[in-house]
Amino acid sequence: MNMNREKVQIFDTTLRDGEQVPGCKLDTKQKLVIAERLDKMGVDVIEAGFPVSSPGDFLSVSEICKIVENATVCGLTRAVKNDIDVAAAALKHAKRPRIHTGIGTSESHILHKLNTTREDIIARAKYAVSHAKSYVEDVEFYAEDAGRTDNAFLAQVCEEVIKSGATVLNIPDTTGYCLPEEYGAKIKYLRENVKGIENVILSCHCHNDLGMATANSIAGAINGARQIECTINGIGERAGNTALEEVVMIFKQHPYLNLDTNINTRELNEMSRLVSESMGMIVQPNKAIVGANAFAHSSGIHQDGVIKNRATYEIMDPLDVGVNESSIILTARSGRAALAYRAKKVGYELTKVQLDIVYIEFLKFADIKKEVLDVDIHQIIEASKIQGDLIRS
């Protein structure tokens, strides 16, 4: 972390919201492994689960509390007394416990989900925060569907829960509906219109239904939010959540934002693989930062540039995210520079004349195969009938 930049806390909800992906259930042992790695990676808050939801989730939260050394451990609840009581019991071994409670605030939630009134929402929110506060000092309140909540009413709810003792205000774009300027403006509005807002942390929790989760979270941080809720690989309900690796690297690569995190970015690639393998959920190859193709080049023009100077087509050093080096992938779109580079990697120093001959054979091969591998390079060079004149590197 750059000590001169303002810190944004990273709240990881892989073990709670991330686990809501159909078919991605983790057992307690797997959750413990992931939680320990998140803690060592520098995550500030680990949302360990929803304790009242099942005995298994209660056990997982309780066991995670026993092993986490540095991060705050958080348990989710509804604005329901029993939820909060159960969460408090699950968190009793945590060094830094947090109860995360809340209720829907949009007209849609108030009328169709909760069948109640705005006045009742405020009363229930205040009670939930006060009750949670009787157990722990650190209480986060979420205004579910804040993205579609009227700003004036949202500000009213926030002001009341601050009075009741909330330390963090979570402003979720629960349905992933907002545009970045809209979400950023909502955070700015709250900063300017809620009494006591300077005494709490504003948090972003954005879903990816329109592919805007990361952009919305960054917009929130630019406008004053100092906690971002995210998951490894962006997994989560429906289309997923803000991807931790994306937020962290955006701050790292854009110093003019003057924002940074505590995350050791060199752990990102391994963390991505751990979560993917544990959940049995493949990371899409073109996933930003951690996808298999994130540092892979197959176009001849790009390959030539990267071979000459990595910065021509890469804005990040692969080592910064735990990837050993960029990949030059040989396909029918690859040029001579890429072929010479890969040939040298497997032991052949080709002269210009030799390269021209081998390249003709290479194109024939590449036109019938999606990717040319190292073993294929040997075969292509043998087929070119120049092996007697080759210089082995």
Same domain, 270 and 384: no
Q: Which string of b and e fits 59-89 if b means at least 16 CB within 10 Å?
A: bbbbbbbeebeebbbbbbbbbbeebbbbbbe
**What is the C-alpha separation between 294 and 284, in angstroms, rounded?**
10
pLDDT band at 352 (very low <50, low <70, confident <90, very high): very high
What average pLDDT does the segment 101-120 reach? 98
pLDDT band at 386 (very low <50, low <70, confident <90, very high): confident
Same domain, 356 and 207: no
From 252, 279, 306, the end of a domain falls on 279
pLDDT band at 391 (very low <50, low <70, confident <90, very high): low
What's the mean per-residue pLDDT of the chain?
A: 96
Same domain, 202 and 316: no
Q: Does a structural domain hold residue 269? A: yes
Q: Does a structural domain hold residue 260? A: yes
DSSP E strand boundaries for 191-301 = 201-206, 227-230, 259-260, 296-297
pLDDT band at 239 (very low <50, low <70, confident <90, very high): very high
Residue range 317-337, pLDDT digits in tens: 999 999 999 999 999 999 999
Burial class (CB in 10 A: 0-12, 13-18, 19+), 198: exposed
Same domain, 112 and 232: yes
Q: Does a structural domain hold residue 237? A: yes
Same domain, 267 and 346: no
Q: What confidence score (pLDDT) does residue 4 get?
A: 79
From 279, 308, 341, the end of a domain falls on 279
CATH assignment of the domain containing 138:
3.20.20.70
User: Would you give the DSSP letter of residue 284?
Assistant: P
Q: Does a structural domain hold residue 333? A: yes
pLDDT band at 260 (very low <50, low <70, confident <90, very high): very high
- pTM for this entry: 0.94
pLDDT band at 234 (very low <50, low <70, confident <90, very high): very high
Same domain, 361 and 253: no
Q: What count of other Cβ atoms lies within 10 Å of the Cβ of residue 205?
A: 31
Q: Does a structural domain hold residue 1? A: no
Sign, CA torsion 240/242/244/245: positive
Is 3's pLDDT higher than 90? no
Q: What confidence score (pLDDT) does residue 385 get?
A: 82
Is 209's pLDDT higher than 90? yes
Same domain, 305 and 256: no
Backbone angles phi, psi at 170, to 5 degrees: -95, 125
pLDDT band at 388 (very low <50, low <70, confident <90, very high): low
Same domain, 251 and 349: no
Tokens of residue 212, six digits = 């805007």
Q: Do 245 and 289 touch, CB atoms closer than 8 A?
A: yes
What average pLDDT does the segment 203-213 reach? 99
Backbone angles phi, psi at 367, to 5 degrees: -70, -20
What average pLDDT does the segment 237-260 reach? 98
Same domain, 109 and 146: yes
pLDDT band at 149 (very low <50, low <70, confident <90, very high): very high
Residue range 28-72, pLDDT digits in tens: 999 999 999 999 999 999 999 999 999 999 999 999 999 999 999
Q: Does a structural domain hold residue 289? A: no
What average pLDDT does the segment 91-114 reach? 98
What is the CA 308 to chain-centroid distance, rounded?
A: 32
**What is the C-alpha separation between 101 and 131, in angstroms, rounded?**
10
Q: Does a structural domain hold residue 287? A: no
Q: Does a structural domain hold residue 148? A: yes
pLDDT band at 240 (very low <50, low <70, confident <90, very high): very high
Domain enclosing residue 58, as ranges? 6-279
Same domain, 139 and 264: yes
From 227, 246, 279, the end of a domain falls on 279
- Count of domains forming the chain: 2
Same domain, 265 and 329: no
Q: What percent of the chain has pLDDT over 70?
A: 97
Same domain, 71 and 142: yes
What average pLDDT does the segment 237-263 reach? 98
